Amino acid sequence: MNKDKKNKTSSIQGGEIFGDFTSSFNSDIKMFREDIAVSIAYSKMLEKIDLISSSESKSIINGLNEILSEIETNKFKWNNSLEDIHLNIEKALYEKIGNIAGKLHFGRSRNDQVATDVRLYFKNKIINLREELLSFLQEIVTLSEKNISIIMPGYTHLQKGQPVLLSQYLMAYFAMLSRDLDRFDQCYENLDIMPLGSGAFAGVTIPIDREFLANELGFNKISTNSIDSVSSRDHILDVNYVCSSTMLNISRICEEFILWATDEFDFINLPEKFTTGSSIMPQKRNPDYLELIRGKTGGVLGNLMGLMTTIKALPLTYNRDLQEDRNGAILSVDILIDSLKVLKIMFSELSFNKDKMLNSSMKSDILATDFADYLAYKKVPFREAYEIIKKVSQKLSSEKKSINELTLSEFKDISELFDEDVMQIDLKYSIEKRNSLGGTSTNSVNYQIKNANKFISDKLNV
Catalytic residues: 157, 278
Distant-in-sequence, close-in-space partners of 242: CB < 8 Å, separation ≥ 6: 126, 129, 180, 183, 184, 187
**Binding flag, residue 57, ligand ARG (CB under 6 A):** no
Residue 353 is classified by DSSP as -
Is the bond leading into 310 cis (omega within 30 degrees of zero)?
no
Q: Which is nearer to ligand ARG, 47 or 325 (CB)?
A: 325
Structural Rg of the chain based on CA atoms:
31
Farthest CA pair distance, the chain = 102
Q: Which is nearer to ligand ARG, 24 or 57 (CB)?
A: 24
Q: Are 440 and 434 in contact (CB under 8 A)?
A: yes
CA distance 204 to 106: 9
CA distance 333 to 122: 9
CA distance 174 to 140: 7
What's the closest the beta carbon of residue 227 comes to ligand ARG, in angstroms? 14
**Binding flag, residue 110, ligand ARG (CB under 6 A):** yes
Which member of 59, 111, 231, 245 binds ligand ARG (CB under 6 A)? Answer: 111
What's the closest the beta carbon of residue 331 comes to ligand ARG, in angstroms? 16
* Number of residues lying near ligand ARG (CB under 6 A): 10
Long-range Cβ contact pairs of 384-389 (< 8 A, separation 24 or more) = 388/414, 388/415
What's the closest the beta carbon of residue 85 comes to ligand ARG, in angstroms? 9
Q: Which is nearer to ligand ARG, 239 or 322 (CB)?
A: 322
Q: Which is nearer to ligand ARG, 83 or 255 (CB)?
A: 83
What's the closest the beta carbon of residue 322 comes to ligand ARG, in angstroms? 5
Helix (H) or strand (E) holding 300: helix 288-311
Residue 156 pairs in a beta bridge with: 159
What's the closest the beta carbon of residue 320 comes to ligand ARG, in angstroms? 6
Distant-in-sequence, close-in-space partners of 94: CB < 8 Å, separation ≥ 6: 101, 102
Which listed range, 106-114, 178-186, 349-357, 420-428, lies at the site for ligand ARG (CB under 6 A)? 106-114
Q: Are 460 and 134 in contact (CB under 8 A)?
A: yes
**Binding flag, residue 122, ligand ARG (CB under 6 A):** no
Helix (H) or strand (E) holding 194: strand 193-194
**Binding flag, residue 162, ligand ARG (CB under 6 A):** no
Residue 160 pairs in a beta bridge with: 155
**Binding flag, residue 24, ligand ARG (CB under 6 A):** yes
Distant-in-sequence, close-in-space partners of 303: CB < 8 Å, separation ≥ 6: 240, 243, 244, 327, 328, 329, 331, 332
Q: For residue 327, give the nearest of 27, 25, 19, 4 by alpha carbon.
A: 27
CA distance 439 to 455: 19
What's the closest the beta carbon of residue 44 comes to ligand ARG, in angstroms? 23
Indicate the burial class of 366 (C-beta count within 10 angstroms; 0-12, 13-18, 19 or more).
buried
CA distance 254 to 246: 12
Per-residue buried b or exposed e for 140-168, using 16+ beta carbons within 10 Å of the residue's own CB: bbebbeebbebbbbbeeeeebebbbbbbb
Q: Which is nearer to ligand ARG, 137 or 311 (CB)?
A: 311
Which member of 84, 139, 180, 238 binds ligand ARG (CB under 6 A)? Answer: 84
**Binding flag, residue 83, ligand ARG (CB under 6 A):** yes
Q: Which is nearer to ligand ARG, 24 or 226 (CB)?
A: 24
**287-346: which residues touch ligand ARG (CB under 6 A)?**
318, 320, 322-323
What's the closest the beta carbon of residue 291 comes to ligand ARG, in angstroms? 35
Q: Are 217 and 240 in contact (CB under 8 A)?
A: no
**Binding flag, residue 114, ligand ARG (CB under 6 A):** yes
**Binding flag, residue 260, ligand ARG (CB under 6 A):** no
Q: Which is nearer to ligand ARG, 331 or 445 (CB)?
A: 331
Q: Which is nearer to ligand ARG, 230 or 346 (CB)?
A: 230
What's the closest the beta carbon of residue 23 comes to ligand ARG, in angstroms? 8
Q: Which is nearer to ligand ARG, 198 or 323 (CB)?
A: 323
Which listed range, 108-116, 247-255, 384-392, 404-412, lies at the site for ligand ARG (CB under 6 A)? 108-116
What's the closest the beta carbon of residue 111 comes to ligand ARG, in angstroms? 5
Residues that bind ligand ARG (CB under 6 A): 24, 83-84, 110-111, 114, 318, 320, 322-323
